[in-house]
């Protein structure tokens, strides 16, 4: 019954369609010219055809009643009966635009796309009320027919007539645009569609990818802004802040962070991003900004206390940093952050000569990372003077990595090669740690004024072993500047000056890859030349290098170690008053325990005629180095 009804509708509709088109002139392919008799015969045939195919008769009462019944049957879910009444309605009023489109829509629903397109084309020529659905049907049928230009035209007519408020229509149009790869128009349509679907994640990601591909950075930021405004999703706000910072719209990013009134991981990340931007110009300003967020805006969290401690530590506000690292550790859930806080506290404890406390924090860091911080633990053992514990731990770790091989058969060759490279890097890193601890042990012996010849020999052996480690590392990574810097310093301490200075000269001309602390390198090499004082040329070069180190510290207080080097260079040049003026700029309490500082101060004061001050300085030196020959000799005379 249903299929029969459908085909009846098709036949009737197509008959009406072709009747309407029968008067169109036929394009003849060619042949002999028509005679007068031919023309008369054709005219007669056309007249007879028009009489036999008269316009269909309309019966509006039946059409209306059948339409009502069809709608009623559809509401009841009786689709077959509904089809019968749609058939009767169309028979009664085939000139109705509404009924014609309704028939075309039902024909299309049963997969008869070509017939449905013919019906819809005819229906579109009829008078009557136009609605977006009619144009949408034509657009979809043209899509199926592969006629893209017509499909686009009717999609736009449908959208215009619906004032772009039909969500389904917008989505269907977007699918068409994806198929024809019109990305520019697709961006426009998604921009209209997204607010209507509340920025659903799948569609949001499509639009985001399109904007990124089109390099519309500002539009990307605006997309996140609109998404956050509509949904309140803090992740979108974070991404907006990230985008603003990437575009260097830092004031806008900071304005957003200034409005934050709650704290979650997203707010924490936003605050950190703005902090990094501020810190590029001034760490002090970054610290002040963070303190305001925590103590004025009351955005307190373990992570923000951790950030605060980091900035305080960088500004040398060590006591406050200790307090905030400890406070952060009470609630930090991030294992990397917690481990880093423990490392910082361990470093502070070592500076304060609280070696047991430093070891405890290092052990806690390793425990936090489930045994993943053994390298730092070994380093802390070494700096705490627990050399045997450090070497035992490092020997075991070196043994693991030197014999380590990936399990074969579980990855392709490229993956195995990558894993092997990572293992080699780990091995070299452990070698570097081992070498640094050996140097620390050697320095401890060398700085002990009571060390005997055996101890000093052990120190030299430790430095020789450290050098072997670094030479081995260079075989695996010949480009490393940091290894060469460590070797150069170590060789200088061993008295291998020519070899040391060759390495320093190489470092002076090597491209800066960010590996080295350049001011530190300039100062070390410069001071070495000044201290050795082999000739005037090297002395002048040493002073020039120290000056360069100081010049690179623009915007912050000069390093007091660099000032000591500068003063010593001026002393070597015989500029005693200038040297004393520079030494008097050194105010740090830590220098009270530095025997080199007192040795320099005593010599400079004596040379500048400040005998009384020199006596005090040499007496202080003898407290630290009871066997210092220069101090003893001077104090004998004064």
| Mean residue pLDDT across the chain | 84
Q: Is residue 26 over pLDDT 50?
A: no
- Listed in sequence order, the residues at least 6 apart from 213 whose beta carbon sits closer than 8 Å to its beta carbon are 183
Do residues 623 and 592 make contact, with C-beta atoms less than 8 angstroms apart? no
Structure tokens at 353: 């000569």
616 domain-assigned? yes
Report the 10 Å Cβ neighbour count for 427.
19
- Residue 160 burial (CB < 10 Å; 0-12/13-18/19+)? exposed
Structure tokens at 181: 């790869």
Q: Is residue 46 over pLDDT 50?
A: no
User: Rounded distance, CA 64 to CA 607, Å?
Assistant: 120
609 domain-assigned? yes
User: Rounded distance, CA 564 to CA 571, Å?
Assistant: 10
pLDDT of residue 113: 85
626 domain-assigned? yes
Higher pLDDT residue, 118 or 524?
524
Do residues 243 and 219 make contact, with C-beta atoms less than 8 angstroms apart? no
Count the helix, strand and coil residues of the chain and give each as a percent rounded to the nearest 5. Answer: 75, 0, 25
User: Rounded distance, CA 278 to CA 613, Å?
Assistant: 45
SS3 435: helix
How confident is the model over 341-379, as pLDDT tens digits? Answer: 999 999 999 999 999 999 999 999 999 999 989 999 999
For residue 241, the Cα-to-chain-centroid distance in whole angstroms is: 12
Q: Is residue 407 over pLDDT 70?
A: no
User: Rounded distance, CA 13 to CA 122, Å?
Assistant: 9
User: Rounded distance, CA 515 to CA 517, Å?
Assistant: 7
User: Rounded distance, CA 473 to CA 423, Å?
Assistant: 13
User: Rounded distance, CA 118 to CA 222, Å?
Assistant: 44
CA distances for 396 relative to 389, 393, 436, angstroms: 11, 5, 17
User: Rounded distance, CA 427 to CA 365, Å?
Assistant: 21
Residue reference for tokens 């019906």: 119
Structure tokens at 91: 């028979």
Q: Exposure pattern of 311-346 as b/e (b: 16+ CB <10 Å)?
A: bbbeeebbebbbebbebbbeebebeebbbbbbbbbb
pLDDT band at 52 (very low <50, low <70, confident <90, very high): very low
CA distances for 636 relative to 15, 145, 630, 632, 633, angstroms: 131, 111, 10, 6, 5
367 domain-assigned? no
Give the gyration radius of the chain's Cα atoms. Answer: 43
Structure tokens at 466: 């450290």
Do residues 190 and 170 make contact, with C-beta atoms less than 8 angstroms apart? no
Q: Is residue 265 over pLDDT 80?
A: yes
CA distances for 7 relative to 4, 12, 65, 380, 406, angstroms: 5, 8, 22, 89, 71
Domain count across the chain? 1
SS3 598: helix
pLDDT band at 18 (very low <50, low <70, confident <90, very high): very low
SS3 164: coil
634 domain-assigned? yes
User: Rounded distance, CA 99 to CA 91, Å?
Assistant: 10
pLDDT of residue 594: 87
- Listed in sequence order, the residues at least 6 apart from 587 whose beta carbon sits closer than 8 Å to its beta carbon are 560
Instruction: Give alpha helix (H) positions in 318-412.
Output: 318-329, 335-351, 355-368, 374-383, 387-402
Q: Phi and psi dihedrals of 505, rounded to 5?
A: -65, -40
604 domain-assigned? yes
User: Rounded distance, CA 327 to CA 332, Å?
Assistant: 9
Dihedral sign from CA coordinates of 386, 622, 633, 574: positive
pLDDT of residue 63: 64
Structure tokens at 633: 């000799």
The candidate with the shortest Cα–Cα distance to 268, out of 182, 357, 331, 362, is 331
User: Rounded distance, CA 534 to CA 322, Å?
Assistant: 45
User: Rounded distance, CA 309 to CA 324, Å?
Assistant: 5
The candidate with the shortest Cα–Cα distance to 223, out of 188, 258, 257, is 188
SS3 202: helix
How confident is the model over 474-510, as pLDDT tens digits? Answer: 887 888 899 999 999 999 999 999 999 999 999 999 9
Q: Is residue 8 over pLDDT 70?
A: no
How confident is the model over 124-143, as pLDDT tens digits? Answer: 888 888 888 888 888 888 88
In this structure, of 145-154, 294-303, 449-458, the range with the lowest mean pLDDT score is: 449-458
How confident is the model over 572-586, as pLDDT tens digits? Answer: 999 999 999 999 999
Higher pLDDT residue, 370 or 417?
370
* pLDDT, average across residues 383-393: 94
For residue 370, the Cα-to-chain-centroid distance in whole angstroms is: 27
Domain ranges, residue 611:
588-638
User: Rounded distance, CA 482 to CA 473, Å?
Assistant: 11
In this structure, of 25-39, 47-61, 125-139, 520-534, the range with the lowest mean pLDDT score is: 25-39
């Amino acid at each position: 019954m249903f299929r029969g009804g459908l085909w009846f509708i098709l036949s009737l509709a197509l008959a009406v369609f072709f009747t309407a088109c029968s008067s169109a002139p036929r394009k003849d392919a060619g042949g002999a010219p028509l005679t007068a008799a031919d023309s008369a015969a054709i005219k007669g045939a056309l007249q007879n055809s028009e009489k036999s195919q008269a316009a269909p008769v309309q019966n509006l009462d039946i059409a209306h009643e059948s339409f009502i019944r069809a709608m009623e049957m559809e509401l009841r879910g009786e689709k077959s009966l509904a089809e019968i009444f749609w058939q009767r309605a169309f028979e009664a009023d085939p000139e109705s635009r509404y009924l014609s489109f309704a028939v075309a829509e039902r024909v299309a629903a049963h997969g008869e796309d070509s017939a449905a397109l013919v019906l819809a084309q005819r229906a579109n020529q009829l008078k009557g009320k136009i609605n977006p659905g009619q144009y949408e049907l034509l657009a979809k049928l043209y899509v199926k027919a592969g006629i893209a230009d017509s499909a686009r035209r009717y999609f736009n007519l449908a959208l215009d007539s619906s004032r772009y408020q039909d969500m389904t229509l917008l989505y269907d149009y977007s699918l068409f645009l994806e198929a024809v790869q019109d990305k520019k128009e697709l961006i426009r349509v998604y921009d209209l569609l997204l607010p209507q679907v509340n920025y659903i994640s799948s569609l949001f990601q499509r639009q985001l990818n399109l904007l990124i591909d089109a390099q519309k950075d500002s539009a990307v930021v605006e997309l996140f802004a609109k998404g956050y405004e509509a949904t309140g999703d803090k992740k979108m706000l974070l991404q907006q802040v990230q985008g603003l910072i990437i575009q260097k719209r830092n004031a806008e990013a900071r304005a957003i962070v200034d409005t934050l009134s709650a704290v979650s991981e997203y707010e924490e990340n936003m605050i950190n991003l703005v902090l990094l931007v501020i810190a590029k110009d001034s760490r002090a300003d970054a610290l002040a900004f963070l303190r305001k967020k925590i103590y004025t805006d009351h955005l307190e969290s373990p992570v923000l206390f951790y950030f605060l401690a980091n900035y305080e530590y960088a500004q040398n506000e060590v006591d406050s940093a200790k307090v905030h690292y400890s406070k952060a550790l009470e609630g930090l859930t991030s294992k990397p952050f917690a481990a880093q806080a423990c490392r910082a506290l361990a470093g502070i404890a070592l500076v304060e000569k609280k070696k047991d406390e430093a070891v405890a924090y290092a052990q806690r860091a390793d425990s936090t990372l489930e045994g993943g911080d053994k390298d730092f633990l070994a380093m802390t053992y070494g700096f705490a003077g627990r050399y045997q514990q450090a070497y035992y731990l490092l020997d075991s770790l070196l043994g693991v990595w030197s014999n380590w091989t990936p399990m074969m058969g579980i990855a392709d060759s490229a993956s195995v090669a990558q894993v092997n490279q990572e293992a080699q890097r780990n091995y070299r890193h452990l070698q570097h740690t081992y070498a640094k601890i050996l140097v620390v042990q050697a320095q401890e012996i060398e700085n002990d004024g009571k060390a005997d010849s055996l101890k000093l020999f052990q120190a030299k052996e430790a430095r020789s072993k450290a050098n072997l480690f670094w030479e081995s590392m260079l075989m695996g990574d010949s480009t490393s500047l940091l290894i060469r810097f460590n070797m150069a310093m170590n060789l200088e301490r061993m008295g291998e000056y020519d070899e040391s200075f060759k390495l320093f000269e190489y470092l002076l001309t090597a491209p800066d890859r960010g590996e080295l602390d350049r001011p530190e390198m300039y100062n070390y090499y410069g001071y070495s030349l000044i201290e050795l004082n082999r000739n005037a040329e090297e002395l002048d070069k040493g002073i020039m290098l120290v000056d360069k180190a100081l010049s690179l510290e623009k915007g912050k207080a000069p390093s007091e170690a660099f000032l000591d080097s500068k003063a010593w260079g001026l002393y070597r040049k015989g500029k005693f008053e200038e040297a004393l003026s520079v030494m008097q700029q050194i105010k740090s309490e830590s220098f009270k325990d530095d025997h080199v500082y007192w040795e320099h101060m005593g010599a400079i004061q004596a040379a500048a005629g400040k005998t009384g001050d020199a006596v005090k300085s040499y007496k202080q030196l003898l407290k630290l180095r009871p066997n210092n020959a220069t101090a003893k000799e001077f104090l004998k005379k004064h």
